Structure 1
């Protein structure tokens, strides 16, 4: 009886090891044959050598879209930021549609594929100022000044960040709670 149980156990183990995978697929063959090779289909970002020519080109592409009154582009490194100026009376949904259309047009251009598009009027004006400073021969100074102004506008002022005057000095009249000057 013991021999019969051992023979049955051995036969079941041998049968279990030789089974094909449950999904019906053949067992894996050579690992090098399992690799899939795919070609890169995304457009490659071209290196920008003449930033002024690229900026002019992207501005022309942006202004070719209906409802775009003007466009201003700043190129730094291999990145372009394009500000578009639209009619002030345009509703928000239409602004989004026009901005999308500009981005779509820029995507088709090898230099504009990674551009950043903004329809904010303040940023458009700042981009215009940066572009004018670059063309006037002040690229670093003009860029730094405008970035400082942009960051100053974006940074929130948190009440918890306001420091109280030292305790040994009396607060000024304007800083007292309940002061009529507030």
Structure 2
């Protein structure tokens, strides 16, 4: 009985060997150019970053307004840009409570800071400051003197991010 099982096991092993090693009866596959060996001397196309152009202050303001308007709970936005700095005023939905206003304002500020031109933007939802920003926009369009516009923007920026009242003078190291 043992010899019979060995004989059957040996026969099945030989049969599996011949069946497994039999050539496939199909036409030879053509080698496509993509599957051919790639030489290491081929050059890969490099991507070039988009050129950075100096945009006008109005273009920057329009871009920041668009980003702010696309945020949830923002009805309207207005922005003023001077150099690298911008001030963005938000007109939010009327039914928002104070905590939600702060959250929306923070979300807009975060979205603006992710944008390269909005990295230094101050954001406010105070209705008085938003009206003042609108007035500054109208003054710029009307061609008012730059000095008065800059003074108004400085006042707005100071109300958004007030300076510390107590300034500690730098101590000199004894020599």
**Interval containing the TM-score (normalised by the shorter chain):** 0.5 to 0.7
1:62 aligns with 2:64: no
TM-superposed CA distance for 1:87, in Å, is: 2.5
Give aligned pairs, total. Answer: 108
Which residue does the alignment assign to 1:136?
142
Bigger CA radius of gyration: 2
Residue 53 of structure 1 corresponds to 59
Q: Distance in 2 between matches of 1:150 and 1:62?
A: 19
2:115 maps to 1:109:
yes
**What per-residue deviation string (whole Å, max 9, x for no partner) do you get for residues 87-124 of structure 1?**
23320110011001101111121000111111111000
Contact 1:134 1:142 in 2 (8 A): no
Partner Cα separation in structure 1 for residue 97 and residue 113 of structure 2: 24
Find the residue that maps to 1:53 and give its secondary structure: helix
So what's the TM-score if we normalise by structure 1? 0.52
In angstroms, what is the RMSD of aligned CA positions? Answer: 2.7
1:140-179 paired onto structure 2 within 5 Å: 140=146, 143=149, 146=152
Gaps of 5+ in 2: 1-51, 160-175
What residue number does 2:17 align with?
none
SS at match of 1:90: coil
TM-score (norm 2): 0.54
Cα distance, 1:129–1:69 mapped onto 2, change above 3 Å: same
